[in-house]
Structure 1
Amino acid sequence: MIVVMFLVVTIVFVIVRVTPGDPAAVMLGPDATAQDIASLRARLGLDQPLALQYLYYFGQLLQGDLGQSIFLNEPVTAALFERAEPTFFLTVFSLIIASIIALPIGIYSAYRRGSLFDQAATALAMLAASIPSFWLGLILIQSFAVRHGIFPVSGYGGPGSSFVDRMYHLALPSIVLGVVSSALILRFTRASMLDVLGDDYIRTARAKGLIERKVILKHALKNALIPILTVIGLTAAVLISGAVVTETIFSLPGIGNLVVSAVLRRDYPVIQGALLVIAGLYVLINFAIDMLYLLVDPRVRY
């Protein structure tokens, strides 16, 4: 984990520095003189050699400081914390919706392998995986928000909005990400269950006279959980880092929207801090999934 995070810090630092565009010039506008731009660059420390900037930034990270936003004029940590709530709940709700759709269909599809239901489920999974999230989001906005007025068009509620109202604004974007993400979980669930259903202990359990539901849910599903947990964990990590388009379409003030704004403004500290936090969450989620293997399959302990 330490090696991965070190590589992420280094690569992100280099990429944002070599990207065309000068934050000082963006801040001062097109009418700024070269002297004004040079003065602001010196005040921001952007005139220092790249290696010196990297050592200074790395020293800040060791102290838990992600830096100061150039445009927001506040610590990057505070900016990320202010925008963490929409992204967090969007990820949670989307993952719940994806699991509710994918797990039952994937299990039953594997149980009824080759049937009409199985073929239809496989086709729908391919269709869901092929649908762009921005297109599905626009269709749902047009149908359920503009035409019927069931859900809000966009936003996250006003400053004084209740928690329920803010969660209500997340309904449509959660459905969009949940439907798109369910395709991968469904396919992995079906494939993992198919591998297990052909094993000898499943035939033994049926020969003992166990009811079919117990054979599927207790014996087969439990032994098929490791690949399923893996893809659910990866989906959660992808939702955290990949909800940029959905947040932009629905005007959600989340981390993804913050990163897009920071890229357009060349706000180096925000870009670096956001990507570092996302990478850290990605690594921690993978680590947590590895630990769950110990609970799911006792053979992993040996």
Structure 2
Amino acid sequence: MLRTVLHRLLGMLAVMLIVVTIVFVIVRVTPGDPAAVMLGPDATAADIANLRAQFGLDRPLPVQYVQYLLGLLQGDFGRSIFLGQPVLAALGSRAEPTFFLTLFSLALAVLIALPIGIYSAYRRGSLFDQAATTVAMLAASVPSFWLGLVLIQVFAVRLGWFPASGYGGPGTTLAERLGHLVLPSVALGIVSSALIIRFTRASMLDVLNDDYVRTARSKGMGEARVVLRHALKNAAIPILTVVGLTAALLVSGAVVTETVFGLPGVGNLVVNAVLRRDYPVIQGALLVVAGLYVLINFAIDMLYILVDPRVRA
């Protein structure tokens, strides 16, 4: 097992190095000069050149790349050109709404998808199964931003149950701030549940007719125990995979939803950084998201070992 963990860790380091290189190159070749954007249309060529030299943007790309790698090894993600603060500090100040939005959306998606997917597989071919499959396909095709706008119109504008946008003022309590996340969490959770429903149903269908399930039934075990203890446990690996993938997609896919609901999260910060050509913030945010992807995949691999002894062997 130790050898497997070390192998995964080395793979993570290799992936992150590739991601760092790709992100650095893509950001640099994107049209637009942050110095020109910052100074405005009235800036002279000399002013732009001076500002580029101040931020080190006039140096050759290989030199910038090596300096960036050395900074990353020391935990330095750079300094935001427009915000004037370290990138990690800028991301940390926006992390709370994004973290809770991802957490609540994933929890809602799992709570919706697992019972529906399990029961749909158990009642294969029934009216419930057909309705669940249809609704899952419909939810998968609905854009989260469109669903968010519908929820705002119904529950915020007409009924007034929830705030339409924002994340509360400086003196707002945590409970009040979390109230602003109800509608965006529902929008993301419903859309994300569709994929989990389909994978859960397919995984359960693969195991419900296996010999050990028939043996458990022949011993007189109750249907709930057979389905939840025997069938679900053996179908858990594909379900864990899609739940981990959904969590990673929610982290990176919250950009549009945060924009629709006016949440001051990491996604909103990245959108502004792209418009301003704020290279350090763009690079830092992409690296954090890529790191979360890698960590989630690593955690899922470790859960495989705990859930299924055959993987450990």
TM range (shorter): over 0.9
**Which of 301, 305, 311 is equivalent to 1:300?**
311
How far residue 210 of structure 1 moved from its aligned partner, in angstroms, is: 0.5
Give the structure 1 partner of residue 34 of structure 2: 23
* Residue in 2 that maps onto 1:206: 217
Look up the SS of the partner of 1:243 in the other structure: helix
How many corresponding residue pairs?
A: 302
Match of 2:27, as an amino acid?
A: V
Q: Structure 1 residue 225 and structure 2 residue 209: aligned?
A: no
Name the SS of the counterpart of 1:32 in structure 2.
coil
Identity in percent: 77
Q: 2:269 aligns with which of 236, 249, 258?
A: 258
Given candidates 141, 145, 163, the residue that maps to 1:134 is 145
Report the Cα distance in structure 2 between the residues aligned to 1:88 and 1:134, rounded to whole angstroms: 19
Corresponding residue number in structure 1 for 2:157:
146
Counterpart-to-counterpart distance in 2, 1:9 and 1:257: 22
Which residue number corresponds to residue 178 of structure 1?
A: 189
1:244 correspondence with 2:279: no
Pairing partner for 2:288 from 267, 277, 295: 277
The residue aligned with 2:180 is: 169
One-letter identity of the residue aligned with 1:40 = L
Matched, 1:11 2:22: yes
Which AA in structure 1 matches 2:43?
A
The one-letter code matched in structure 1 to 2:107 is I
Amino acid of the structure 1 residue aligned with 2:152: I
Q: Alpha-carbon deviation of 1:63?
A: 0.6
Cα RMSD after superposing both structures: 0.5
Moved over 2 A (4+): none
1:66 aligns with 2:77: yes
**2-structure distance, mates of 1:278, 1:64:** 16
Cα distance in 1 between the residues matched to 2:207 and 2:131: 22
Counterpart pick for 1:44 among 55, 59, 67? 55
Shift of 1:300: 1.1
The answer for unaligned runs of 5 or more in structure 1 is none
Once residues 296 and 52 of structure 1 are traced to their aligned partners in structure 2, the CA distance between those partners, rounded to angstroms, is 47
TM-score for both structures, normalised by structure 1: 0.99
One-letter identity of the residue aligned with 1:4: V
Asked whether 1:109 is paired with 2:120, we answer yes
Structure 2 distance, partners of 1:242, 1:98, is 14
Cα distance in 2 for partners of 1:260, 1:66 equals: 18
Residues 245-285 of structure 1 deviation map (CA, whole Å, 9 limit, x = unaligned) = 00000011111111101000000000000000110011001
Gaps of 5+ in 2: 1-11
**Cα distance, 1:104 vs structure 2:** 0.2
Instruction: Measure how far apart 1:76 and its partner are.
Output: 0.2
